[in-house]
Amino acid sequence: MPGVFNLSIDEAVKEAEEAVKLGIGGLLLFGLPETKDEDATGAWDDDGIVQRSLRAIKATAPSKELVLIADVCLCEYTSHGHCGIVVEGKDGFEVENDSSLDLLGKTAASLAHAGADIVAPSDMMDGRVGEIRRALDEEGLENTPILSYASKFASAFYGPFREAADSAPQFGDRRSYQMDGANAREAMREIELDLAEGADMILMKPAMPYQDIILAARQRFEIPIGAYQVSGEYSMLQAAFERGWLEPKRAMLESLLGLRRAGSDFIVTYFAKEAAAAL
């Protein structure tokens, strides 16, 4: 992805300071561990890469102005690239929902202890918001809010992210836990369930191909709603910019304006620095 890099901790600290100068409100952190294993150890390890980065960023004065959001998922940390624990089932390998919940709860608590202001589960296991809320409360982290990717759709637009994070599933796909793009009503039901389990706000993703879902959620739920313009959405615009087919600044801002108009209160985008400078 042009202009997007995997950062070391010292580089991430500098990036955070630059974000503050540009007037960006917050950062969403993802980790790329040195080694991956079946139990996603790097996700819940108190010395994991995101935990260490959170502590480093929180230790610098300007970065205190940023809201630090930590993605909660296992796929960047598992050797097989799935978002949960994989077991042998009757039809071959399958992602086991319930045993994954324990690790997701542990991951969220570890990230919050390390300094995450908000935890953002993106795994789509059933019951994870409730389990994360329980795990946080049990550790005295009652005040850490949960930003849930409540209606995350299975999508081709995550491709560049998976390449960057080396997290493409080694077998099968994510359709057993991510949602079917044809089903708008299921999205509303998933959001209802997550709110009942204790989600404080939701993040809609992908964004541009699903603006009707953002609008439907906006009309239905009185909670903060964010839109996540994902890696493939960013990359296709960048590809057009490189060819000189679209005017970069105008097209970028128009793509973000659409998300705002659809009802999102905040936007997660790889264009954040350019957009903040332009605005």
Question: Closest distance between ligand PBG and the C-beta of residue 165, in Å?
Answer: 7
Question: Closest distance between Zn ion and the C-beta of residue 49, in Å?
Answer: 16
Question: Where would I find the beta strands (DSSP E) of 67-186?
Answer: 67-72, 85-89, 92-96, 118-121, 147-148
Interacting span for ligand PBG (CB under 6 A) from 15-23, 136-144, 157-165, 247-255? 157-165
What is the distance between the alpha carbons of residues 262 and 254, in angstroms, rounded to a whole number?
12
What is the distance between the alpha carbons of residues 120 and 99, in angstroms, rounded to a whole number?
19
Among 110, 231, 255, 264, binds ligand PBG (CB under 6 A): 231
Active site residues: 152, 205
210 near ligand PBG, judged by CB under 6 A: no
Of 167, 222, 228, 183, whose CA–CA distance to 203 is shortest?
A: 228
Among 12, 54, 70, 75, binds ligand PBG (CB under 6 A): 75
33: left (phi over 0), alpha (psi -120 to 50) or beta: beta
Each residue of 207-245: b (16+ CB within 10 Å) or e? bbebbebbbbbbeebebebbbbbbbbbbbebbeebeeee
Among 73, 108, 132, 227, binds ligand PBG (CB under 6 A): 73
Question: Closest distance between ligand PBG and the C-beta of residue 150, in Å?
Answer: 13
Interacting span for ligand PBG (CB under 6 A) from 49-57, 67-75, 100-108, 211-219? 67-75
75 near Zn ion, judged by CB under 5 A: yes
Secondary structure letter of residue 147 according to DSSP: E
Among 12, 27, 68, 83, binds Zn ion (CB under 5 A): 83
Output 30 or 137, the one with its CB closest to ligand PBG. Answer: 30
Where on the chain is the footprint of Zn ion (CB under 5 A)?
A: 73, 75, 83
